[in-house]
Chains A and B, each alone.
Chain A
Amino acid sequence: ETAVFQTPNYHVTQVGNEVSFNCKQTLGHDTMYWYKQDSKKLLKIMFSYNNKQLIVNETVPRRFSPQSSDKAHLNLRIKSVEPEDSAVYLCASSLRGYEQYFGPGTRLTVL
């Protein structure tokens, strides 16, 4: 099956903990993204990465960091989570920035 896969589906954690989310795409795309979707369904791009360049949205707090081992994988690490980090994190991929394919999302709840 060719798609974008994310794990875990849900994660509940305490303030100050570190969390890590995984994303894999089997579509052969060259660019991957992480988005944050808040409770009002607003979508904000956090990072984009292709095999040449990582681009960071300058508004993203430094406790967020992407990690990539190859062009099919882009993980997201959050050091020391805060309550406002509660959201759904969406991973996506595309070919050269065109039509994006999205994963099902990871819902993070910070207590």
Chain B
Amino acid sequence: GEQVEQLPSSLIVQEGASVLINCSYTDSASVYFPWYKQEPGKRLQFIIDIRSNMERKQNQRLTLLFDKKTKHLSLHITATQPGDSAIYFCSANPLSGSFNKLTFGAGTRLAVCP
């Protein structure tokens, strides 16, 4: 089945720094890649997504890059703030009805220090 790997597993940065979170997947049937954020004590929240027919998507301080050939994604967060401290999850989804192939990475814990 699908396997999603995220690196690094954790990051500590100073406020204002940029961070890069990498994600790779194995199943070429995956065509939709949403990312979620989980702040301490809060529910999982969608932050950005990309489909396999796109290479790049931006949402304010978030930029998501996708390479279909290498099955790799990277999430770039600029000008980090303490409020960005959370666990970030990459996921891969075939969208074809086989939702049991909907797979999340293990998460990247980001801590932004003021």
On A, residues with C-beta under 8 Å from B are 31, 33, 40-45, 48, 53, 55-58, 90, 92, 96-105
Contact with A along B87-114 (1 / 0, CB 8 A): 1010001010111101110110000000
Query: A48, A96, A100, A103: which contacts B34 (Cβ < 8 A)?
Result: A100
For residues 4 through 43 of chain B, which have their beta carbon under 8 Å from a beta carbon of chain A? 32, 34, 36, 38, 43
Pick from A55, A96, A103: contact of B100, CB below 8 A. A55
Once the chains bind, are B44 and A57 in contact (CB under 8 Å)?
Answer: no
Contact A45 B99 (CB under 8 A): yes
B43 touches A48 (CB 8 A): no
**DSSP class of B's interface residues: helix, strand, loop or mixed?**
strand
By the criterion CB–CB under 8 Å, are B44 and A48 in contact? no
Our count of residue pairs bridging A and B at CB distance below 8 angstroms stands at 59
Chain B interface residue bracket vs A: 20 to 34
In the complex, the chain B residue whose C-beta lies closest to that of A4 is B43
Q: How far is the CA of A104 from the CA of B39 in the complex (A)?
A: 12
Contact B100 A56 (CB under 8 A): yes
Docked-complex contact A41 and B87, CB < 8 angstroms: yes
A98/B34 contact (C-beta < 8 A), A41-B107, A43-B89, A103-B43 known: yes
Which listed residue, B43, B44, B100, touches A45 by the CB 8 Å rule? Answer: B100
